């Protein structure tokens, strides 16, 4: 069982916080899509695992025409072994989802939309440099629900200038639709973004971590009261609506990455394509090695296991840890986790060690103290 990720490397404009790979020029679009189809054909040769999920991420996949989306899906279906009812998600920006696009998408094999709302607050959206406003977002969700029932929205909390009152207002708006899935990310200041530049120049002041935690805490309690399950730090879903694609990543399943900057994982090694549209096209067209590869050491595998275990509701099973990595490594984990159990950031439930609410929010920092170092 595996997932297939297709990276669409175009955006209308650059959001100030984002350092995912994209170009605002659509010039090479045709060549990139035909290269992706070629990459699908190449990567399918000898690939035995059943593909359960296809995920169009970006960049902005909703910028593609339905013909382009269909041609990519067809290439996957024609070349890979596909499960009976694959989850096929498309990330979409609200300003792309007009009625005719939604109609076309609902007639395609796409069966899940992940809409980048980010905020219902126009001040936030301006600061983010988004290409839509809150009115577009509301209309877009109303319209999308006429065509899709499996919809997720992305939100960003911890915005500069936000506070608990503005975040609660934002969240209440998002909860109006009783959606099946909400992904909410704490704003991170990524290198080489406009946001980083503004913060360095003190034009924008980031929020202190404790205030960001207050927003996570408010959201967590509110969403759990409404029967959402926080199955991963940033992911809240109603029962039966967990993202199969993202759960695959966290449960260590294999995935095939297609397109510039995409990553692949075969159970032992991770490889990643070049993050440059022009180089990607020329490499694929010339049948050149278009990715870098890294074999995961035992230590890398342990570190990833800890990282995902702390982020997710599945936690870390001590017996599983011992079986996978041996008694010595399990002892290291137990010894290092003691102080977090005492401070109630980690909780023991029989054989499982999980993060508490606060622990989940701080899971990156906790994980780094539980990691082993490659020698
Ligand atoms: C890479 S984007 C692609 C989706 C789509 N292009 C969009 O913007 O709606 C996926 C999601 O990552 C989140 N994201 C990207 N950069 C982030 C950052 N620096 N901090 C927090 N969330 C971020 C946003 O919520 C975004 O919707
Ligand atoms: S958040 Fe989405 S739309 Fe904005 S730059 Fe990143 S990928 Fe593009």
Residue 144's domain spans which residues? 2-249
pLDDT value for 27: 85
Mean pLDDT of the chain: 96
Of the three residues 249, 269, 288, the one that is the final residue of a domain is 249
Distance (angstroms) between ligand 2 centre and the Cα of 358 equals 28
Residue 367: closest CA among 349, 354, 357: 354
pLDDT value for 64: 97
| Whether residues 217 and 308 fall in one domain | no
The CATH number linked to 356 is 1.10.10.920
* Whole-number percent of the chain with pLDDT over 70: 99
pLDDT value for 375: 64
| Whether residues 203 and 84 fall in one domain | yes
Residue 364: closest CA among 232, 252, 269: 232
| Whether residues 242 and 319 fall in one domain | no
Which whole number is the average pLDDT over 269-274?
93
Distance (angstroms) between ligand 2 centre and the Cα of 50 equals 30
pLDDT value for 158: 98
Q: Is residue 290's pLDDT more than 70?
A: no
Residue 219: closest CA among 159, 177, 152, 174: 174
Q: Render pLDDT for 244-268 as a digit per residue (tens, 0 to 9).
A: 999 999 898 999 999 999 999 999 9
Specify whether the CB–CB gap between 218 and 168 falls below 8 A: yes
Distance (angstroms) between ligand 2 centre and the Cα of 23 equals 10
| Whether residues 148 and 75 fall in one domain | yes
Q: Render pLDDT for 201-243 as a digit per residue (tens, 0 to 9).
A: 999 999 999 999 999 999 999 999 999 999 999 999 999 999 9
pLDDT value for 373: 83
Q: Render pLDDT for 135-183 as a digit per residue (tens, 0 to 9).
A: 999 999 999 999 999 999 999 999 999 999 999 999 999 999 999 999 9
Which whole number is the average pLDDT over 46-65?
97
Q: Is the pTM of this model over 0.75?
A: yes
| Whether residues 222 and 107 fall in one domain | yes
| Whether residues 160 and 240 fall in one domain | yes
pLDDT value for 291: 75
pLDDT value for 361: 98
Domains identified in the chain, total number: 2
Specify whether the CB–CB gap between 156 and 128 falls below 8 A: yes
Q: Is residue 187's pLDDT more than 90?
A: yes
Of the three residues 249, 272, 287, the one that is the final residue of a domain is 249
Q: Is residue 289's pLDDT more than 90?
A: no
198 ligand 1 Cβ < 6 A: no
93 ligand 1 Cβ < 6 A: yes
Q: Render pLDDT for 353-369 as a digit per residue (tens, 0 to 9).
A: 999 999 999 999 999 99
| Whether residues 126 and 205 fall in one domain | yes
Pocket of ligand 1, candidates 8, 97, 114, 116: which has the most ligand atoms within 8 Å of its Cβ, to mutate? Answer: 116
Is residue 283 in some structural domain?
no
3-state class of 309 per DSSP? helix
pLDDT value for 276: 95
Q: Is residue 124's pLDDT more than 80?
A: yes
User: Which tokens in the block code for residue 224?
Assistant: 């759990």
The CATH number linked to 230 is 3.20.20.70
Query: Using CA atoms, how far apart are residues 210 and 186, in angstroms rounded to an integer?
Result: 12
Residue 58: closest CA among 234, 233, 275: 275
Is residue 101 in some structural domain?
yes
For ligand 1, atom 20, which residue shows the shortest CA distance? 187
Q: Is residue 184's pLDDT more than 70?
A: yes
């Amino acid at each position: 069982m595996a997932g297939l990720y297709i990276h669409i490397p175009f955006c209308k404009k650059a959001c100030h916080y984002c350092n995912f790979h994209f170009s605002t020029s659509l010039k090479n679009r045709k060549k990139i899509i035909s290269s992706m189809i070629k990459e699908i054909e190449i990567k399918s040769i000898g690939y035995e695992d059943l593909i359960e999920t296809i995920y169009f991420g970006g960049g902005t996949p909703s910028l593609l025409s339905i013909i382009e989306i269909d041609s990519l899906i067809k290439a996957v279906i024609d070349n890979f072994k596909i499960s009976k009812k694959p989850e096929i998600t498309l990330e979409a920006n609200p300003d792309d989802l007009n009625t005719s696009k939604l109609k076309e998408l609902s007639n395609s094999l796409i069966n899940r939309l992940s809409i980048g709302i980010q905020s219902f607050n126009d001040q936030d959206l301006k600061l983010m440099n988004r290409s839509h406003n809150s009115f577009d977002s509301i209309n877009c969700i109303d319209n999308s629900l006429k065509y899709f029932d499996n919809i997720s929205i992305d939100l960003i909390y911890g915005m500069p200038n936000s506070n608990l009152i503005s975040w609660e207002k934002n969240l209440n708006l998002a909860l109006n639709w009783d959606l099946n899935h909400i992904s909410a990310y704490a704003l991170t200041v990524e290198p080489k973004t406009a946001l980083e530049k503004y913060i360095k120049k003190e034009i924008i002041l980031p929020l202190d971590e404790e205030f960001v935690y207050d927003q996570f805490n408010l959201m967590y309690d509110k969403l759990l009261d409404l029967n959402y399950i926080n199955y991963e730090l940033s992911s809240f879903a109603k029962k039966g609506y967990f993202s199969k694609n993202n759960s695959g990543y966290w449960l260590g399943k294999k995935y095939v990455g297609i397109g510039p900057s995409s990553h692949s994982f075969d159970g032992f090694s991770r490889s990643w394509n070049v993050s440059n549209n022009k180089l990607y096209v020329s490499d694929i067209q010339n049948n050149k090695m278009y990715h870098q590869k890294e074999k995961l050491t035992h230590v890398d595998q342990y570190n990833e296991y800890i990282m995902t275990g702390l982020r997710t509701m599945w936690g870390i099973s001590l017996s599983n840890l011992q079986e996978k990595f041996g008694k010595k490594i399990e002892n290291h984990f137990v010894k290092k986790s003691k102080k977090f159990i005492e401070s109630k950031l980690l909780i023991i439930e029989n054989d499982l060690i999980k993060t508490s609410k606060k622990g989940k929010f701080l899971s990156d920092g906790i994980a780094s103290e539980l990691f082993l170092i490659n020698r």
